[in-house]
Structure 1
Amino acid sequence: MTRSRLVWCLAALLGGCALVDPPAPSAFAPAAAVTGSPEIAAYEARFAALLAGFDAHRLRDLAGVPHAAPAPEWLVPVIGPVDARAAALDDPLIAPVPGLVPGEYEWPGRWRTAVTALVLTDGPAVRGVPFRLPDQNELERIVSFRSIAATDARITATCDGAVQLVRPDSGGPRPASVPFAFTVPAGQRDETRLSLPPQTASCHLEIAYPGQAARSLDLVGESAADPAIAALDRRFDICEQPAPDRMDALERAFFAERWLSQTCVMDAGAPVLLDASRDGYNAKIEALTGMRLSDADFDAGNPYLPLDFSHAPRLDMIWMSYLDLKADFSGALIEQAVRWHAERGTLVRILVSEVLELPQDLAMWERLAAEFPNVQFQLFSLEPPRHASPREYLDVLHRVNHVKLFVTLARDPARSRAILGGRNIHDGFLFDHSLDLSAWPELQQYGVPGELSLRYFSTYHDFEIEITQPQAIMALAAHLATLWHRDEETTVMRPFSVGTSGPGSRTMALTGARHFISVPEIDHHALDDYWVGLLDAARESITLVTPYLNPTPAIEAALNRALARGVEVTIVARVALYGDLGGRLMTEMNALFVERYADRLALYEYDQPDVVLHSKLLLVDGRLGVVSSVNLNRRSFLHDTENGMAILDPGFTRRLQAVVDGYIAQSYRLRPDSFSVRPWVRRLFAHDWVRDLF
């Protein structure tokens, strides 16, 4: 037994050392040595540090050592080398790498395990369309069979390389070019899998159901099916950074390179502001169909209203990432539009949090994926790692995908669209009452407002922006691909950009937009550092719009520093969250913030009856505006995936300020005693670890 393994057995405090091995450090097969590219070398150095930081956290979790604590002596043989590789993460800012050439690149390295769900149905399904295998940066690809069929599927597979069949009862290796058969029972989910190494490029399946002719389905790599999409999936960017002596504090905070996954600063055009709920929904319908719904269409509430596709764009890709994607009026019409494009060969990718999808929701979207092999449906969830700590088991139930981004890539780039902000695809973001959908049992029938049911209904006032600039939309799609192509077990996503300094640093414009995606456990809580950096840069004003008031200690300290500098701080919130999920407890959590700050800053309560103000906006000094999915709560900064767009432009920020002024006009100023807090709730939230959960 090696010393490191002996130390690990003692650290794990498990009964049998034979069952315990230290988690293997995350690694990848580097490509820089092969390509000779300094840009790829710089990119891989960034990625290696992120992976080492993740490994260091995981090792500490399993050993019961706090993330920020130095490793005790007995743990040093295992964790010391990992800490050394992760040392760069101790500084939240990253110095630009000099001498790189700015632009778009592709990373050919391999590092992850990819799992893609193949949904099986014995009902109607399109023939002759291949199922696309991920072949972007994988060390292993797993096809997971998910049956929504009423009968068993008998599958005969032939692959051009060796594969591994994984089943609860049997399985094992299968050689190249030799047919093998297996059964996927009716209703079985993700228990039968095919594991394909990178050398195996394709498989042919014959799928038979009782009383039906066999169906043929080819599994082919993304690179062969659509080289342009494959290149987009491999993209990373090298970003020119302005010379530091040209920038003030806010510009430095905006342009800074961080461990947070960010695009380069780009021209986002003139984003369309989508404050009204029907405008937000219609922007998505118009991106898919070329037409908008009328007020009469909304008022009729028919979830199967025939849509007009006579002006629909020709789309190469549709991408939807949400916390919630419901089978209701909102979801049914989006599904109809997406189905129309799927029938014409458009690649569709859907990413949604598994924990919030109810049976009707799953049935709608999995049926679409089963009928069209070009529809890819991912359920975001955390699987406990092989060497999980108790905290990691809790995270499985707690962490969700909160990235909200809708993207269409059109053959005519002028018709491509990207929409981002705070909304989900859910009737609560569209109507002020629950529709009667009882005539359609396959759709959600929401109940009365309630706090402990996922069938609750609340009305949300939210905000989004629509991007129409084609190059910006392509960057957003490529950025989202890093989340889509994450590692299955760990949710690690690769970085998207690396900063450089060069000749353009003295002449480039000091305005623009950049998109970010946060996975807190992977990026060292870099979103927290980013918000702190923006707040610390403020010299005149900070304005926040948020439904939740539970900032991290670092953000609260930054707010206090801003107040001490004389910065005018305004927060518009909906403190009273009655009717929202867990609303009473969330109301009292918000009230604790009101007690501390209502006499120190301008704190407003949005006062529209039975409406939750759900917008997430940050404005700094009238020059920078951020539209995002990020709440001012600890979940956003410590747990959930998040995204948003920061735009450094006074004109855009003035437009956002007009939206905020409209909210304030419908609000009243709060006092420290505006809300009461029950004693037991006060005691509960006195514990920092409890507040960290919210």
Structure 2
Amino acid sequence: MNFTLLFTLMALVHVLLIVGVSIRIIMVRLPVSTSLAWMTLIFFLPLGGVAAYLLLGEKRLGSRFSARSRAVYERYERWLKEVPEEIRSDPQRLSSQGQSLNRLAATTVHLPALCGNRLELLDATEPILFSIISDIDQARKFCHLEFYIWNEGGRANEVAAALLRAADRGVTCRVLLDAVGSDRFLKSRLARQLKAGGVEMAVALPVSWSSIFRVRPDLRLHRKIVVIDDTAAYTGSFNLVDPRFFKQDSGVGEWVDAMVRVEGPGVLALNALFRWDWELETGCDLGAQAARIGEIPATRQTGGSDVQVIPSGPGKTHNTIYQILLMAIYSAQEEIVITTPYFVPDDAVTTALLTGAERGIKVTIIVPERNDSRLVHYTCRSYFDDLLSAGVQIFLFKAGLLHTKCVVIDRNVALFGSVNLDIRSFWLDFEVTIGIYDPDFVERLLALQEKYIQNAVEVNLEAWRRRPRRARFYENLTRLASPLL
């Protein structure tokens, strides 16, 4: 065997792999930090790095999904433009920050803030599930549920029972679940019972070995939406789980979540988002079965809150929530309070928070003390030094895994939904948040955040700097991978 020739061929393949994929990375125009991270990985681990990049490096949704998205976009855009003036929020009633956020979101997703909504904050598992079950039991036309995770056990099974009762009395029930987040449930006996009982079930973003290099497997549907009869809707951070039966072996305690129940025109926007997601996965157009937003009477208004539904995800609205978050942080004049389970911001968000603190804004970040991901746990803490040095207050929640996602600006606007303050939520997952431009309701969100702080310990800068060298090493090491997370 000619070992010299073999070595030369291996070296040539090594170089071609590095050069070829590096050119591809340059042409795709990923964020600079992400591009450099991928190129570094490929240089040191060419085979593994190339395989990882082909799997996870680009936002590939597949030709069928992309074609359906293009086909329905214009129709939904026309539907959204039919929003009548009487349910559009009057910009003069909004704060200056609310006006700016409203304009940006309306420009990017073509859905303005809607007035006349009644909002109810549900901040614990029992009231969340009780309220959803109660609304399902009163449904007359349809029940639409969309979740990242449905996990069997406890009160979550009572939601399934309520859906079976609704289907039995002729109510159309549809459930859309993420293929990865709800993988175990989709294979369960309970899922089969729901299908047999007349509940329509669809799987979002399915993953298979045959498509793994054509469709990026970690692009996930992370939204949490419930819509009942166009009269009530829910959104927030809550997956369809009973915390007493969910990830009990993870060592982080029970998950702590919150949802907002909406009555009024905002329900129609959340239902439109569900219909969009359902059609992209099933090809079934639910538009003919839904009320036209232009035909909704002003009497549908049930409260005094202005709400804006803001979707985000790979495709047409790929960075909307990210843009709005940055604008919200930079618009703050007095106070920013952030609650998030996963804190892995990019450079732009980190700079915005540091700049806010350094110009005298009170910036507070609440994260869980323990996280279900060790990688995220260490990466999150790698940001603490800079933030604490700039004057940011950081609280570690001790009473479970705090999973609520909420940003409050100056006590008059809030962003509340499924979006984590991390790169995945900014760029990769399909998310939904609601912009809330009602100072009275924002005060309720602040009261909830204050309750979280009462169950948390504040991170002290001097004590933090005395942490072990080993912890610092892990934090800085995992931060190198943050652009790839």
Q: TM-score range by the shorter chain?
A: 0.7 to 0.9
Taking the aligned partners of 1:253 and 1:639, their CA distance within structure 2 comes to 22
**Residue 624 of structure 1: how far off its partner (Å):** 0.5
Q: One-letter code of the match for 2:115?
A: D
* Conservation of the 8 A alpha-carbon contact between 2:142 and 2:172: yes
Match of 1:321 in 2: 146
**What residue number does 2:28 align with?**
65
Of residues 312, 331, 335, the one that matches 1:541 is 335
- Percent sequence identity is 19
Cα displacement string for residues 390-433 of structure 1 (whole angstroms, at most 9, x for unaligned residues) = 6x65x31x222110011111xxx7xx3211111111121xx3xx
1:281 aligned to which of 120, 129, 141? 129
Separation (CA, whole Å) in 2 of partners of 1:615 and 1:523: 23
Structure 2 residue corresponding to 1:460, chosen from 248, 252, 255: 255
Note if 1:641 corresponds to 2:440. Answer: no
**Secondary structure, counterpart of 1:570 in structure 2:** strand
Equivalent residues of 1:254, 1:648 under 8 A apart: no
Q: 1:417 is matched with which residue?
A: 232
Which residue, 592, 596, 612 being the options, matches 2:386? 596
SS in 1 for 2:141: strand
The structure with the greater share of residues assigned to strand is 1
* 1:585 alignment partner AA: L
| 1:351 alignment counterpart | 176
Distance 1:671 1:363 in 2: 46
- Report the CA distance shift for 1:547/1:370 in structure 2 as closer, same or farther (over 3 A): closer
Matches within 5 A, 1:354-373: 354-364=179-189, 366-368=191-193, 370-373=195-198
CA distance in structure 2 between the aligned counterparts of 1:686 and 1:570, rounded to whole angstroms: 21
For 2:148, the aligned partner's letter is L
CA contact (8 A) 1:262 1:517 kept: no
Contact 2:81 2:110 (8 Å CA) reproduced:
no
Distance 2:152 2:124 in 1: 22
Residues in 2 aligned to 1:342 and 1:671: alpha-carbon distance in whole angstroms: 54
How far off is 1:533 after superposition? 0.9
Question: Does the 8 A contact of 1:540 with 1:568 survive in 2?
Answer: yes
Contact 2:408 2:415 (C-alpha < 8 Å) held by counterparts: yes
Tell me how far 1:61 sits from its aligned partner.
6.3
- Shift of the 529–478 alpha-carbon distance from structure 1 to 2, 3 Å rule, reads same
Matches within 5 A, 1:229-628: 235-238=79-82, 248-257=96-105, 260-261=108-109, 263-289=111-137, 313-364=138-189, 366-368=191-193, 370-373=195-198, 375-381=199-205, 395-396=216-217, 398-409=218-229, 416-428=231-243, 431=244, 434=245, 449-450=249-250, 458-469=253-264, 471-486=265-280, 512-577=306-371, 580=372, 582=373, 584-599=374-389, 600-608=391-399, 611-628=400-417
- Tell me whether 1:670 sits opposite 2:468 in the alignment: no
- Please give the per-residue CA displacement for 1:73-111, whole angstroms capped at 9, x wherever unaligned: xxxxxxxxxxxxxxxxxxxxxxxxxxxxxxxxxxxxxx9
- Distance in 1, Cα, partners of 2:27 & 2:176: 33
Q: Structure 2: how far apart are the matches of 1:570 and 1:340? A: 45
What is the DSSP-based 3-state SS (H/G/I as helix, E as strand, rest coil) of the residue aligned with 1:426? coil
The alpha-carbon deviation at position 458 of structure 1 amounts to 4.4
Q: Distance in 2 between matches of 1:642 and 1:320?
A: 15
Distance in 2 (alpha carbons) for counterparts of 1:387 and 1:66: 24
Q: Is the 8 A contact 2:147 2:177 kept in 1?
A: yes
Give the secondary-structure state (helix, strand or coil) at the position aligned to 2:200. Answer: strand
Amino acid across the alignment from 2:333: R
Report how far residue 623 of structure 1 moved. Answer: 0.6
Among 470, 474, 483, the alignment partner of 1:681 is 474
For normalisation by structure 2, the TM-score amounts to: 0.73
Describe the superposition over 1:274-311 as per-residue Cα deviations: whole angstroms up to 9, x where unpaired: 1122111111111122xxxxxxxxxxxxxxxxxxxxxx
Q: Deviations over 1:117-145 (max 9, x none)?
A: xxxxxxxxxxxxxxxxxxx9579xxxxxx
- Quick check: 2:147–2:178 contact (8 Å CA) kept in 1? yes
SS of aligned partner of 1:418: strand
Structure having the larger proportion of residues in helix: 2
CA distance in 1: counterparts of 2:211 and 2:313, whole angstroms: 20
* Residues 202-225 of structure 1: per-residue CA shift (max 9 Å, x gap): xxxxxxxxxxxxxxxxxxxxxxxx
Q: Deviations over 1:454-481 (max 9, x none)?
A: xxx8411111111123x33223212321
The alpha carbon displacement at 1:232 in A equals 9.5
Alignment of 1:182-193 (within 5 A): none
Over 3 Å counting, the alpha-carbon distance change for 1:113 and 1:619 in structure 2 is closer
Q: Is contact 1:235-1:478 (8 Å) kept? A: no
Measured after TM superposition, the shift of residue 535 of structure 1 is 0.9
What amino acid maps onto 2:249 in structure 1? P
Aligned residues between the structures: 402
The residue aligned with 1:294 is none
Separation in 2, partners of 1:447, 1:682: 24
Residue of structure 2 equivalent to 1:38: none
Q: Partners of 2:452 and 2:412 in 1: how far apart?
A: 20
- Aligned-pair CA distance for 1:487: 6.5
Other structure's SS at 1:287 match? helix
- The answer (yes or no) to whether the contact 2:204–2:221 under 8 Å persists in 1 is yes
> Which amino acid letter does the alignment assign opposite residue 270 of structure 2?
L
How far apart are the structure 1 equivalents of 2:210 and 2:178? 22
Deviations 1:43-88 (A, max 9, x none): xxxxxxxxxxxxxxxxx9688532479xxxxxxxxxxxxxxxxxxx
| Deviation larger for 533-542 or 349-358 | 349-358
> What TM-score, normalized by structure 1, do the two folds share?
0.52
Between 633-642 and 254-263, report the one with greater CA deviation. 254-263
Call closer, same or farther: CA 1:645–1:668 in 2, change over 3 Å.
Answer: same
- The yes-or-no answer on 1:652 pairing with 2:472 is no
Do the aligned partners of 2:148 and 2:182 also contact (CA within 8 Å) in 1? no
Mapped contact 1:572–1:605 kept (Cα < 8 A): yes
**Aligned mates of 1:405, 1:320 — CA distance in 2:** 6
Please tell me whether the aligned partners of residues 322 and 353 of structure 1 are also in contact (alpha carbons under 8 angstroms).
Answer: yes
Greater CA drift, 663-672 or 637-646: 663-672
Cα 1:385–1:526 change in 2 (3 A) is farther
Shift, 1:343, TM fit: 1.5
Superposed displacement of residue 348, structure 1: 1.5
User: Are the structure 2 counterparts of residues 314 and 549 from structure 1 closer, same or farther at C-alpha, using a change threshold of 3 Å?
Assistant: closer
Corresponding letter in the other structure for 1:623: N
Secondary structure class of the residue paired with 1:569: strand
Distance 1:241 1:650, change over 3 A: closer
The verdict on how the C-alpha distance between 1:138 and 1:400 changes in structure 2, with shifts beyond 3 A counting, is: closer
Deviation string, structure 1 residues 8-51 (Cα, Å, up to 9, x no partner)? xxxxx99xxxxxxxxxxxxxxxxxxxxxxxxxxxxxxxxxxxxx
Bigger shift: residues 636-645 or 263-272: 263-272
With over 3 angstroms needed to count, the CA separation of the structure-2 counterparts of 1:68 and 1:480, relative to structure 1, is same
| Structure 2: stretches of 5+ with no match in the other structure | 1-15, 18-22, 33-65, 284-303
